[in-house]
Amino acid sequence: MWRFSRKKPFFTEEENEKIIHSIQEAEQQTSGEIRIFAESRCKYVDALDRATELFANLQMEKTELRNAVLFYIAIKDKQLAIFADKGIHEAAGAGYWKDAVKEILSVFSKDDIVGGITTSIYKIGEALKTHFPYDKEVDKNQLPDEIVFGK
């Protein structure tokens, strides 16, 4: 007899909603876009390489001002990366992103993955707000806010 096991979701429904809500709140203050991609394991040596590939696969470079940010996390491998499109990467500077990852890792080390993700989203949102403030006349949500789940 075959038994199919249902894969345990990465986050509870409540945690999922909390993460999506933090994305929506952060994006209310900026024309920038934030997406989360979560998967179990990173098959790449470098999580940033995986995030770069996913960014392209999700067509996140198509935002008008090139100000989308992908937050990538491989939960079981405890790897993460932030990939920022050209517009926001250049505006904030490479040092900002390195510091952001260090700060995020300090939160994750306390075993609060969801807290680490939401804290990260708000930090990314602040950078986006600084360099790409919200303009109600022209801004619209260009990318979905839902978390993208890999294997």
pLDDT exceeds 60 at position 31 = yes
Domain 13-132 CATH assignment equals 3.10.310.50: yes
Average pLDDT in the 131-141 region? 84
Average pLDDT in the 114-120 region? 88
pLDDT exceeds 60 at position 3 = no
Q: CA 150 to CA 2: how far, in whole Å?
A: 24
For residues 102 and 37, the model is more confident at: 37
Q: Give the DSSP letter of residue 84.
A: E
pLDDT exceeds 90 at position 32 = yes
Q: CA 143 to CA 109: how far, in whole Å?
A: 30
Across all residues in the chain, what is the average pLDDT? 87
Question: How do the residues of the chain divide into helix, strand and coil, expressed in percent and rounded to 5?
Answer: 45, 15, 40
pLDDT exceeds 90 at position 129 = yes
Structural domain boundaries in the chain = 13-132
